[in-house]
Amino acid sequence: MKTSLRERREAVELSQGALAERVGVTRQTINAIERDRYDPSLELAFKLARHFDCRIEDLFDPELDETS
């Protein structure tokens, strides 16, 4: 699943660790999501969307994933 998480995070000059702390996960999880290695749970997707004040569809786009 493609994501714009890294772009949005870097736009507000937030580190992976700081974002992880704010949404209650580990830095490794944020890193894995940004590298398309892990699809977050619905709960975490909501938390991330809420944090960036956007919709989940704005952060994650399954349509762009050519492998699934």
Instruction: Using CB under 8 A, list all residues that contact another protein.
Output: 20-21, 24-29, 32, 38, 40-41, 43-44
State the minimum distance, in angstroms, from the CB of residue 44 to another protein.
Answer: 6
The DSSP call for residue 39 is P
Residue with the two structure tokens 């000059």: 13
Taking the least distance from each CB to another protein, the nearer of 11 and 18 is 18
State the minimum distance, in angstroms, from the CB of residue 28 to another protein.
Answer: 7
Taking the least distance from each CB to another protein, the nearer of 11 and 46 is 46
Residues 6+ apart with CB under 8 A from 61: 1, 2, 3, 4
Please compute, for residue 62, the number of CA atoms within 13 A of its CA located in the half-sphere on the CB side.
6
